[in-house]
Structure 1
Amino acid sequence: MTRALITAAEAVARLDDPDTVFLDGSWTFPGGPRTGADGHVRGSRHFDIDTVKDRANPLPHMLPDADTFTAHARALGLNNTSRLIIYDRYGLFSAARVWWMFHAMGHDEVAVLDGGLPAWAIAGGLIADTIEPTWPEGDFQARFCPQRVADRVAVAAAIASGERQILDARGEARFSARTPEPREGMRSGHMPGAHNLPFTTLLYPDGRLRVSAEAFRDVGIDLDKPVITSCGSGVTACILSLALDCLGKESAVYDGSWSEWGSRPDTAIEPEA
């Protein structure tokens, strides 16, 4: 599976492949998506981004270290040879975050189910009411890939040098500070020089990903230059990175995103208050 996306029909055909593992990466937050399909892909395993995280970091669902990630993956019965298909119940929302996490940990045999569980149901895929909580331990070994991740220092360097473009997945009203941030104590606005491509722009009404080079170019992104994606807490930024990957462009995700940048008094913000 070298492609970042897999169609529902292709995924249904892989259901009984012993090396293929379906991971339910569903996650939402107050004010986030609620409408989606009920149940789970038969035999799938739950990957919770609020469990597989750096617990020492106060920021939400930050990427853990390789050893911690390895332990969680093995507990899910994952192996180095596992071919992973990630989905969520909403079409496409948090599944892209799980996809990115595995890439950041050196596992490339991973794809997102295009359209998620709703597309799976339409394609006739088998759905279970419950999900099995335990699996025989696997032999997965994480290998951290730093080029997939950007931190605050890297973002500040990108702003100063202009060598890497910053692309923000939040809605335009939040980006332009016309509406307040949903998280308490956070400033409004965006990083200096950042571009804005709301993640919803890249979604069809049925939750499938709209892979469009023009969508990136229309907001000023040069696809021949490196990109750092960002959002509110590092989840929907991964949708932009997924779309870029489908275009053959690897990007880095700013893991702290606006939860970090907007909460600090020492970070530059536009428009200035």
Structure 2
Amino acid sequence: MGKLGIGDGLRIVVYDQLGLFSAARVWWTFRAFGVAEVMILDGGLPQWLAEGRETESGPSARQPATFMARLDRSIIADIAQVERALTAGTSQVLDARPAARFRGEAPEPRAGIASGHIPGSLNLPFGEIIKDGHLAEPEALRAALESAGVDLSRPVITSCGSGVSAAILWLALDSIGKRPHALYDGSWAEWASAGKPVATGAE
């Protein structure tokens, strides 16, 4: 970060070329490393270009800065924590993958990874809360989460295929003030590779 000119005390704005996809993961990663002043550009690069705003090309040059990472483990869940949470019923696990992959009806994009989902987890495909590169409004987010079976009074751990789109669900929860919640960094790729139980179907 320091070599990129990103240092302590700066306000960081992240974006991607799809509107809202990988930017959420970068935003969450900064949060995980203790950065409070980080936000996502609404609509990303497509919105910026649509508004006729200035762009530049080529490598950027910034003076090196000092970046002090402070890992916030409270927003990161590992495989053991996910297992304990489901067994004890202390947290809900919410999967961001498309419904067909969650149900085990479509193959995973990674070779050797079984289709299906973590037993007991819920499904809210991330595409259902994004429109034209923008995150849905808070009222719509609440409705989508509740429709997916999420109890907003209880903790939530977000998951997906590899930890990227899970950050979009994390962003959605954060944007409506839902805490505490964590992101399962290894997500389905780790769970299935570890030989853990696999569920198929809608539940």
TM-score, length-scaled by structure 1: 0.70
| Partner residue in 2 for 1:264 | 194
Residues in 1 aligned to 2:52 and 2:9: alpha-carbon distance in whole angstroms:
27
Q: Is 1:216 the equivalent of 2:111?
A: no
Cα shift at 1:101:
0.3
Deviation at 1:158, TM superposition (A): 1.2
Residues in 1 aligned to 2:37 and 2:53: alpha-carbon distance in whole angstroms:
21
Q: How does 1:99-114 map to 2 (within 5 A)?
A: 99-114=27-42
Alpha-carbon shift at residue 218 of structure 1 (Å):
0.3
Matched, 1:124 2:52: yes
1:88 aligns with 2:16: yes
1:248 aligns with 2:177: yes
Counterpart residue number, 1:78: 6
Separation in 2 of the partners of 1:172 and 1:80?
40
Q: Is 1:190 aligned with 2:120?
A: no
CA shift for structure 1 position 181: 1.1
Picking from 158, 171, 174, the partner of 2:85 is 158
Shift of 1:124: 3.0
Q: Which amino acid aligns with 1:209?
A: L
How big is the shift at 1:130? Answer: 2.4
Distance in 1, matches of 2:159 and 2:107, equals 17
How well do the aligned residues superpose, as a CA RMSD in angstroms? 1.2
One-letter amino acid of the counterpart of residue 134, structure 2? R
Which whole-Å CA distance do the structure 2 matches of 1:131 and 1:193 have between them?
46
- Structure with the larger RCO, 1 or 2 (CA within 8 Å, 6+ apart): 2
AA in 2 matched with 1:90:
L
The whole-number CA distance in structure 2 between the counterparts of 1:84 and 1:269 is: 39
Structure 1, gaps ≥5 residues long:
1-72
Structure 2 SS opposite 1:228: strand
Give, in angstroms, the shift of residue 249 of structure 1: 1.4
* Structure 2 counterparts to residues 174-185 of structure 1, below 5 A: 174-185=101-112
Supply the distance in 2 between the matched residues of 1:130 and 1:209 (Cα, whole angstroms). 30
Q: Indicate the percent of aligned positions where both proteins have the same amino acid.
A: 47
State the Cα distance separating 1:259 from its structure 2 match.
Answer: 1.2
Q: TM-score under structure 2 normalisation?
A: 0.93
Q: Which has the higher helix share?
A: 2
Which residue is equivalent to 1:230?
A: 159
Deviations 1:57-93 (A, max 9, x none): xxxxxxxxxxxxxxxx111111111100000011111
Amino acid at match of 1:146: R
The alignment covers a number of residue pairs equal to 197
